[in-house]
Amino acid sequence: MTSGGDSAGMNPAVKCAVDYSRSKGLKPYVVYDGLRGLIDDLIEEAVPSIVSGILHRGGTMLGSSRSKRFFELQYREIAYQNLQKRGINKLIVIGGDGSFGALNQFYNDFGVPFAGIPATIDNDIPGTDYCLGVDTALNMIRSSIDSIRDTAHSFSRAFVIETMGRHCGYLAMVSALATGAEICLVPEMDYDLEAIGERLRKERENGRRYFLAIVAEGTNMGEYMTRWFSDTLDMDTRLTILGHVQRGGSPTVHDRIMAYKFAVAAVDSLLEGQTNNIMVYQDGSFARKPIHEVTDGKHQVDPDIVKLCRPLCH
């Protein structure tokens, strides 16, 4: 099942989990519409035709939802009965820490073991360096910013570009580095607009025609920076909020391969009798972590990325 915000890489993970579990002699099922589907019995045997042709598709063909009902015991009991009547005794959830927490409560109630696969473009799940969908989102952002740069140069404008990421600035930081932006504002770093202004004035004096500023949505600085450019540098400035275009797109090769590796690890974890582990990718290797280490942990962006971005906020 997939749950929470959609991200490219979910479909390859679904396909691999289905195909690999069948190769291990299991009978796989799929749950449509996430937690709501567990309650409303939107469960179907995963015959090969269901996952055929989904590898290249963005989002999740299973659908997703955020179900308030699942937080009530009576509805979780209904979900459990729906699994019981089909003989389903293991779950794989592809999503974020909220989805993992919901399935952990489900395990505590009824003892149904699960394995979690991290999937969110925000890349903010504690304990893992990578979540499915991040590379595809970064490539969507990179493509958009490259296009914006063309018109910025043509009209000698400044552009403020807001990326998603909730309270995590990972997408903004990596995108700023990858596109050569002059400014990057994220929740993880302090910034000095006076120093930035002085730096950009010198660049204009040396012939700089345009500027790109990448701001993370968690800073709430998009509109302010647009006014700041106009007031401080007397430049024609535009704000572009990329929005949900970042969630879409055909999964990149990297996301497809990562999806396969996560899915295989999840199935193997359950077959080995592990109950409520999250698959993680750290320091170039795959591992498993107990749910509490993930939900209780605090995510931190790679310090090397932060260090590289620091000059862009001063």
Whether residues 115 and 57 share a domain: the answer is: yes
Whether residues 128 and 261 share a domain: the answer is: yes
Q: How many CA atoms lie within 13 A of 118 on its CB side?
A: 27
Per-residue pLDDT tens digits for 257-308: 999 999 999 999 999 999 999 999 999 999 999 998 988 888 889 999 999 9
Q: Does residue 150 lie within any of the structural domains? A: yes
Cα separation of 106 and 270, whole Å?
16
Whether residues 109 and 150 share a domain: the answer is: no
Whether residues 129 and 243 share a domain: the answer is: no
Cα separation of 259 and 255, whole Å?
6
Is 122 a known active-site residue?
yes
| Total domain count, the chain | 2
Per-residue pLDDT tens digits for 122-151: 999 999 999 999 999 999 999 999 999 999
128 vs 166, residue with greater confidence = 128
Boundaries of domain holding 223: 136-247
Asked if residue 30 lies in contact with residue 52, where contact means CB atoms within 8 angstroms, the answer is no
Q: Does residue 3 lie within any of the structural domains? A: no
Cα separation of 200 and 250, whole Å?
37
**Which candidate in 122, 124, 135, 255 is catalytic?**
122
Whether residues 57 and 125 share a domain: the answer is: yes
Q: Does residue 33 lie within any of the structural domains? A: yes
Four-residue CA torsion sign, 298, 303, 307, 312: negative
Q: Can you give the pLDDT at residue 12? A: 97
Mean of the per-residue pLDDT values for the chain? 95
- What predicted TM-score, i.e. pTM, was given to this entire model? 0.94
Whether residues 129 and 140 share a domain: the answer is: no
Cα separation of 134 and 210, whole Å?
28
Whether residues 106 and 204 share a domain: the answer is: no
Query: Left, alpha or beta for 41 (phi > 0: left; psi -120 to 50: alpha)?
Result: left
Decide the pairing of beta strands 114-118 and 211-216: unpaired
CATH number reported for the structural domain that contains residue 160 in this entry: 3.40.50.460
Examine the pLDDT at 188 and tell me if it is beyond 90: yes
User: Which of 248, 246, 254 has its CA nearest to residue 165?
Assistant: 246
Examine the pLDDT at 166 and tell me if it is beyond 90: no
